[in-house]
Structure 1
Amino acid sequence: MCGIAGIFHCGTPKPVDPERVARMTDALAHRGPDGSGVWTGPGVGLGHRRLSIIDIAGSPQPMHSADGRAAIVFNGEIYNFRELRRELEAGGAQFRTDGDTEVILAAWSRWGVECLARLHGMFAFALYDARRRELVLARDRLGVKPLFTAQLSDGSVAFASELKGLLAHPLLRREVDPLAIDDYLAWGYVPDHRSILKGVGKLAAGHYQVLRHEAPPPPPVQWWDVDFSHRRSGSTADLSAELLHHMREAVGSRMVADVPLGAFLSGGVDSSSVVALMAESSRDPVSTCSIGFDVAELDETRHAEKVARLFGTDHHARSVDPDDFAAADRIASMFDEPFADASALPTWRVCQLAREHVTVALSGDGADEAFAGYRRQVFHAREEQARAVLPGALRGPMFGALGAAWPKADWAPRPLRAKATLLSLARDGAEGYARAVGVVPAEMRARLYADSFAGRLDGYRAEDAFVRTMRAAPARSGLDRAQYADLKFWLPGDILTKVDRTSMDVSLEAREPLLDHRLIEFAAQLPLRQRIRGRQGKWLLKHTMRRYLPDDVLFRPKQGFVTPIAQWLRGPLAGEARAIATGARLARTGWFDAAQLSRIAEAHIAGRADNSRLLWQLLMLDRSLDRLGISG
């Protein structure tokens, strides 16, 4: 895994200062501690930091094609590069290295942008074609690897694996986009269609962009999408066999490395399934790592240890406690943009633990999105049944009134916390699901904002982009549309961002076999009954893995990688919660109503409400603004 950065002039091909590119790549040194390189040509500069995984002694970057036509910087892994290499060699291609980078160059020379569909893996790359005088930026299907871009005042486009690479460029403006603040509060992260800074963008998953000298940057082109509009037929036995085949192929292909390799193990269905298939294909014990918490009801380490014993893994465990809050500034530095998924902290800790033993770690990420494993997806499927029976003209007034009157009882048993469900049923499926996925609903955000900041939003509502994604989905059912939006919006913006930044911070390569695109495409065509039965999500996956895993692993209630932040903010971190209303950076922005923030903190500390997610969002926003040197 690596870090890439560069500069391309879309106007006059001005000379590119190699020292400027070097500073951008140096900001990404954590992504690639094993080597670095810079190449410049007329109007273009490419930089690279390398973490050696395949062909350790060879494959330096930037890499040039044998004929000198093209140069590339590449971040990722192409899992089928050996098969592609054989096909290209049969057509006359010759190779000087044993890695996957040169295969991309040869594939580009043979097929042009059509080569993207042949690449199986995770990647972001920049390829300069001297003959065509163009730079191609490309990102993998699901957005496992990131790519930031910025149009600068001198007519150039800068790109980098992380925002900090762009921040090293002196022409980058550091002006906050107010719409990104609304996005961040709505979702807990800044989604891929926006950036915290004006003028900065992110190449969307499954897209490429071709930049040319003496032409303005064109819009990116989508080269891959997932289609939920078709259904597979076949018996459960046949579908289960096909699923297992895909999973074995995905796990096996991601076990190829020239460095030590292991896995994250939480003890849940997804990571346990990956470890089971790794153990099946490995002669040596699989190295596994897990993280626990000092709050017993949220600690999953005993489940991880059980799975580790079952497969005889070389298991390592560690715990997170409130003292780790001191790492909040480090977390803010990792992400650059504000990022409030509190599981980033334990994810970082498990990456640190894994890096002590391996250089590559497989994770179970992606199964919930692909196979309908989230509780919100199961609820949405049931709500859609109600929507099909009750017309909107009846649902809206009835459930809207009930939802408005129902108390927000965070302290009550789950069956009595019906407010969210009632408010969701008052809306159509897309609006209802957007509310279920979000953190802070629009009406609450409006109460938080100072009048002057609300005016800068000019009626903008963060949920609209998510709703549009659902409504435009190639899908047949409400569940299809929900899963599509999770794969296109939530997965790259939250889950994959979290894993990429926390793993790369410690120079660990994380691989997600359950996000193999063939597996995703198979799952998207499963009949609804193979995804959800009753209250059980991921039904076919769990049915298939019963040959490997016991029922108390497969069917225990989903816990997730939950940090006990609510308890911490009422106890050892209560002072941090109270300080939010008067925090230096947030106070200077003038964006929020300080009295409202104070009431939210006190209600949480007193146990009258669970405002932990919002408080954590504001804490991380304050630290991110400090990291970016922004006060308004």
Structure 2
Amino acid sequence: MCAIAGIFHCETPKPVDPRRVERMCDALAHRGPDGAGVWTAPGVGLGHRRLSIIDLAGSPQPMHSADGRAVIVFNGEIYNFRELRAELQALGAQFRTDGDTEVILAAYQQWGTDCLARLQGMFAFAVYDLARRELFLARDRLGVKPLFMAPLSDGSIAFASELKGLLAHPLLRREADPLAVEDYLAWGYVPDHRSFLKSVQKLPAGHFRVLKQGAQPTASVQWWDVSFADRRKGSTMDLSAELLYHLRSGVASRMVADVPLGAFLSGGVDSSSVVALMTEASGEQVQTCSIGFDVEALDETAYAQQIAQLFGTQHHSRMVDPDDFAAIDRIAGIFDEPFADASALPMLRVCELAREHVTVALSGDGADEAFAGYRRQIFHAREEQARSILPAALRQPVFGALGQAWPKADWAPRPLRAKSTLLAMAGSGEEGYARGLSVVPPELRQALYSDAFLKTRGDYRAEQPLVQLMRDAPARSGLDRAQYADLKFWLPGDILTKVDRTSMAVSLEAREPLLDHRLIEFAAQLPHRQRIRGRQGKWLMKHTMQRYLPDNILYRQKQGFVTPLAQWLRGPLAGQARAIGRSAALARTGWFNSKRLSSLADEHISGRSDHSRLLWQLLMLDRSVERLEITG
């Protein structure tokens, strides 16, 4: 795993100062502490930081092709590089190294941009073709590895693995995008279609971009998508056997490494499945790591310990307590953009723990998106059934009025907290799912903003891109569209961002075997009944893993990587909550109604409302605004 950075002049091949590329790479040293390199030519500069995983002594970057006509910098892992290498050798390619980087170079020279379809893995890379004077930028199918880009005032385009790499360039403009503030308040992160800084873009997952010297910059091109439009036929036995094949292949392919390897283990279905299949595929004892909480109701370490004992792993665990939130500023620095998924803190702690023992760790991310494991997906499937029965002319006035009148009873038992469901039922399926997925509903966002910001925001609402994504999805049902949105919007923007930044912050490579694209494509074709039965999501996966895992792991209520924010913000972090309304950084932006911000903390601490997620969002936004020196 590594970091890449570079500068490219499209119109005029101006000289590139190698010291600028070097400074960009130095800002990313945590991603690659084992080596560094910079290469420049007229109009282009490529930089690299290396974390050695495969071919430890070889494969330095930037790397030249055997014929010297192309240069690459690469972040990621190609799991089928040995098979590709053999195929390319049969076509006449020659290799000087034993790693996957040179295989990408040879594949590009053989097949051009079509090489992407042959790569199995996680990656973001840049290839400069000296003969064509073209820069080829690409990102993996699901967005496991990030790539940020920014046009600069000198006519160049800079790119880097993280925003902090671009921030190291003196010409980068630090003006916030107000629409990104709206996006962030809705979702708790800035989705991939936008960046917190107006001048910065993210190359979307499954896209590439070709920039040519002497020509205007072109837009990115989508090279991969997942389709829910078809249905796989076959008995449960046959589908289960095919699923197990994909699960085993995904895990085994990600166990190739020349350094110590382990796994994150939460005790849930997904991480337990990965550990079970790792144990099956390995001749050595698997190393596992887990994090617990000092709030008993949220602590899952007993389940992780059960799995560790079942499979005989060498298990390591550690507790997280409120004092760890002294690391708030560190979290803000790791993500650059505001990022409010509170599980980032325990994720960072488990990465730190894992790095003490291994260099590569496998995670269980991706199965909930692929197999309908989220409670919201199950609820959405039921709501869609109701929508198919009740005409919109009836639903909109009845459910809309009930939703507006129903109190926001955070303190009540879950069945009585119906406000969100009623409001969701009043709209379309896509609008309902967007409302259910959002952290802060549009009505509350409206109340938080200042009059000046409301004018700037105009008619834009954060839900609109998600709604359009679902409407355009290659899908046959509402459940299909919800899963498509989770894979294309939520997964790269939240889950994979969290795992990439926290793991790379401690120079740990995280791999996601359940995001093998062949497994994802298979899951997208499963009939509904193989995904959801009754209230049970992820049905076929749980059925398949019964041969490995006990029922109390497979069928207990999903917990997730939850942190006890509500309790902490009423206790040890109450002072942090109260300070939000007095924040000088947020006040400078002019985005918010400061009186309303102050009242949020009082309502939460008194127990009248649960504003924990919103308060945490505002706290992380405050830190990011301060670090990025945003003034509005």
Q: Give the TM bin, normalised by the shorter chain.
A: over 0.9
Q: Is residue 2:55 matched to residue 1:78?
A: no
2:5 aligned partner: 5
Please state if 1:239 is matched with 2:255. Answer: no
CA distance in 1, matches of 2:4, 2:461: 33
Match of 1:474 in 2: 474
CA distance in 2, matches of 1:488, 1:93: 35
AA at the equivalent of 2:369: E
**Residue 151 of structure 1 aligns with which residue?**
151
- Work out the CA distance in 2 between the residues paired with 1:465 and 1:590: 25
* Aligned match of 1:413: 413
Residue pair 2:174, 2:199 contacting (<8 A) in 1 also = no
After TM superposition, the structure 1 = structure 2 runs for residues 118-267 of structure 1, keeping only pairs within 5 Å, are: 118-267=118-267
The one-letter amino acid of 1:97's match is T
Residues 343-354 of structure 1: pairs in structure 2 closer than 5 A: 343-354=343-354
- Distance in 1, matches of 2:552 and 2:408, equals 33
Query: Matches of 2:96 and 2:559 in 1, distance apart?
Result: 48
Q: Report the CA distance between 1:601 and its aligned residue.
A: 1.0
Structure-2 separation of matches of 1:623 and 1:325: 13
**1:106-131 deviation digits (Å, cap 9, x = unpaired):** 00110000000000000000000011
Q: Deviations over 1:470-516 (max 9, x none)?
A: 00000000000000010000000000000000000000000000000
Residue type at the aligned position of 2:270: D
Residue 34 of structure 1 corresponds to: 34
Specify the SS of the correspondent of 1:234: coil
SS at match of 2:476: coil
Q: Hey, what's the Cα distance between the residues in 1 that align with 2:129 and 2:588?
A: 47
Question: Matched residue of 2:420: which SS?
Answer: helix
1:334 corresponding residue in structure 2: 334
Matching residue of 2:323: 323
**Corresponding residue for 2:451?**
451
Q: Distance in 2 between matches of 1:346 and 1:180?
A: 26
- 2:335 maps to a residue whose letter is F
Q: CA deviation at 1:284?
A: 1.3
| Conservation of the 8 A alpha-carbon contact between 2:10 and 2:156 | yes
Partners of 1:535 and 1:322 lie apart in 2 by 34
Q: Deviations over 1:191-223 (max 9, x none)?
A: 001001011000000000000111111110000
Name the CA distance, whole Å, in 1 between partners of 2:320 and 2:630: 30
Instruction: Deviation per CA, 1:519-557: give whole Å up to 9, x if none.
Output: 000000000000000010000000000000000000000
Q: What TM-score do the two structures reach when normalised by structure 1?
A: 1.00
Equivalent residue for 2:495? 495
Cα distance in 2 between the residues matched to 1:409 and 1:572? 24
Q: What is the SS of the residue equivalent to 2:3? A: strand
Report the AA paired with residue 449 of structure 1: Y
Counterpart mapping for 1:577-592 below 5 A? 577-592=577-592
Residue 402 (str. 1) matches residue 402 (str. 2): yes
Structure 2 counterpart of 1:302, one-letter code: A
CA–CA distance in 1 between the matches of 2:284 and 2:86?
29
Percent identity (aligned) = 78
| Equivalent residue number for residue 103 of structure 1 | 103
* Partner SS state of residue 75, structure 1: strand
The answer to whether residue 613 in structure 2 is matched with residue 613 in structure 1 is yes
Q: Is the 8 A contact 2:433 2:482 kept in 1?
A: yes
Distance of 1:518 and 1:33 partners within structure 2 = 32
Which residue of structure 2 lines up, in the alignment, with residue 572 of structure 1?
A: 572
| Higher alpha-carbon deviation: 472-481 or 593-602 | 593-602
Q: Which moved more, 1:400-409 or 1:334-343?
A: 400-409
Unmatched runs of 5 consecutive residues or more in structure 2: none
SS in 1 for 2:317: strand
Q: For 2:556 and 2:8, how far apart are their aligned partners in 1?
A: 52
Shift of 1:454: 1.1
Q: Secondary structure at the match of 2:210?
A: strand
Question: Map of 1:291-330 to 2, 5 A cutoff?
Answer: 291-330=291-330
Partner deviation per Cα, 1:551-603 (whole Å, 9 max, x = no partner): 00000000000010110001111111111000121122221111111111111
Which residue of 1 is the match for residue 23 of structure 2?
23
Structure 1 residue 631, shift from structure 2 partner:
2.9
The 2-side partners of 1:538 and 1:444 are apart by 33
**Letter paired with 1:161:** S
Question: Aligned equivalents of 1:150 and 1:291: distance in 2?
Answer: 37
Q: Kindly state the Cα deviation for residue 319 of structure 1 after the two structures are TM-superposed.
A: 0.8
Using the alignment, how far apart are the partners of 1:411 and 1:583 within structure 2?
Answer: 28
CA RMSD, 1 decimal: 0.6
Query: Which residue identity is paired with 1:214?
Result: G
Paired residue secondary structure (1:8): strand
Instruction: Give the Cα–Cα distance (whole angstroms) in 2 for the partners of residues 315 and 583 of structure 1.
Output: 42
Q: How does 1:378-393 map to 2 (within 5 A)?
A: 378-393=378-393
Residue type of the partner of 2:188? G
Give the secondary-structure state (helix, strand or coil) at the position aligned to 2:608: coil
Q: In structure 2, give the amino acid aligned to 1:251.
A: V
Tell me the TM-score normalised to structure 2 length.
1.00
Q: Which runs of 5+ in 1 are unaligned?
A: none
Range with greater deviation from structure 2 (587-596 or 494-503): 587-596
Q: How far apart, CA to CA, are the structure 2 residues paired with 1:476 and 1:458? A: 33
Q: Secondary structure at the match of 1:608?
A: coil
- Further displaced range: 591-600 or 121-130: 591-600
Question: Paired residues, what number?
Answer: 632
Aligned partner of residue 39 in structure 1, secondary structure: strand
CA positional deviation for 1:285: 1.1
Aligned-partner SS, 1:525: coil
